């Protein structure tokens, strides 16, 4: 029976495109004045603009919505969004200021792609450290208790950085199945790393989020990389996601999706391997072309 490599079927809408779309639907004529409310959302804290914060910002408020979305722009134009669930009319969000010291702008609205500019305020991050690859984000939720508990089971302080990463990679490739049905149905919903643990399955982006979340929880810097993959037999390049993790003084590549198994007869066959764990950079580049390190 012919086996089809999982990566030939791994669909991934580039997170570069998503990053470009995020937060840019602001009105062209906006005067960018400070605002803390619109018809559906009222920010109660902070209550002013131009203040200082040290690495993290707590935002509180009230809303008639089920969920409020925040768009955060970093000092060099980095863009990320954060959701906050509304419970009994109240919400609270912990927003990480991950992109180093400098000026940040925050917008809020009812969806993750269009912000009308009515709620907009600024602050200055005084934390000198750039924590974009070690702090939790909305989907790489490395501070989630299920992520923290799993890392506690997988790694010990005595392990080297490489040993910690091997333990994480081994668990992910051995316990998360590739969701081929979701690929066939064109599903592309953003899912947190902690939710992927519960689902026990996911697409390439979900694998990448989970590897990054577990690595960050273990104290390792981790990137989510988007790009293209292909093979030498001439099949059409596919959009894909994988990771780079900083261990032993250098960044190493990890493709947990390709190491998890393959598709046969339209079903996922688990076959964990380490072929794409810290593969030689030249060899990895034969099948992978990175277009961006995302802001996740």
Q: pLDDT tens digits for 250-289?
A: 999 999 999 999 888 888 999 999 999 999 999 999 899 9
Phi-psi region for residue 32, left (φ > 0), alpha (ψ -120 to 50) or beta? Answer: left
What are 198's two structure tokens?
């519960």
> 231-234 contacts: CB < 8 A, separation 24 or more?
231/5, 231/7, 231/8, 231/287, 232/286
Angle 84-207-96 from CA coordinates, rounded to 5°: 35
pTM of the predicted structure, to 2 decimals: 0.89
Domains in the chain, CATH or no CATH each: 4-13+137-293 (3.10.620.30), 31-125 (2.60.40.10)
Check: CB of residue 9 under 8 Å from CB of residue 180: yes
Strands 261-264 and 267-270, how do they pair? antiparallel
**Under-50 pLDDT residues of the chain:** 1-24, 27-31
Backbone angles phi, psi at 259, to 5 degrees: -85, -10
pLDDT score of 2: 27
pLDDT score of 232: 57
DSSP 236: P
Phi-psi region for residue 186, left (φ > 0), alpha (ψ -120 to 50) or beta? Answer: left
DSSP 213: H
Angle 122-125-128 from CA coordinates, rounded to 5°: 160
pLDDT in tens, 58-73: 999 999 999 999 999 9
- Beta-strand runs (E) in 76-200: 79-85, 90-96, 102-109, 119-125, 177-178
pLDDT score of 187: 83
């Amino acid at each position: 029976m012919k086996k089809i490599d999982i990566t030939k079927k791994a669909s991934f809408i580039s997170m570069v495109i998503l990053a470009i779309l995020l937060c840019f639907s602001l009105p062209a004529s906006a005067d960018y004045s400070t605002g803390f409310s619109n018809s559906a959302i009222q920010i109660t804290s902070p209550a002013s603009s131009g203040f200082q914060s040290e690495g993290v910002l707590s935002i509180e408020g009230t809303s008639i919505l089920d969920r409020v979305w925040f768009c955060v722009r970093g000092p060099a134009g980095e863009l990320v969004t954060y959701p906050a669930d509304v419970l009994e009319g109240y919400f609270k969000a912990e927003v990480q200021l991950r992109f180093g010291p400098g000026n940040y702008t925050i917008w809020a609205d009812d969806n993750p792609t269009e912000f009308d500019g009515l709620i907009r305020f600024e602050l200055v991050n005084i934390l000198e450290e750039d924590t974009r690859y070690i702090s939790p984000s909305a989907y790489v939720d490395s501070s989630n208790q299920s992520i923290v508990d799993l890392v506690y089971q997988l790694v010990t302080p005595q392990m080297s950085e490489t040993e910690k990463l091997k333990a994480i990679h081994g668990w992910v490739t051995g316990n998360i199945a590739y969701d081929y049905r979701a690929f066939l149905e064109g599903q592309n919903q953003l899912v947190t790393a902690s939710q992927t643990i519960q689902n026990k399955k996911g697409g390439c982006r979900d694998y990448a989020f989970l590897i990054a979340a577990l690595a960050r929880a273990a104290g390792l810097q981790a990137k989510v990389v988007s790009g293209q993959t292909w093979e030498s037999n001439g099949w059409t390049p596919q959009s894909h996601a994988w990771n780079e993790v900083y261990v032993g003084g250098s960044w190493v590549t990890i493709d947990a999706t390709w190491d998890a198994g393959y598709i046969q007869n339209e079903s996922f066959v688990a076959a964990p391997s380490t072929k794409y764990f810290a593969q030689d950079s030249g060899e990895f580049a034969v099948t992978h072309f990175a277009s961006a390190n995302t802001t996740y």
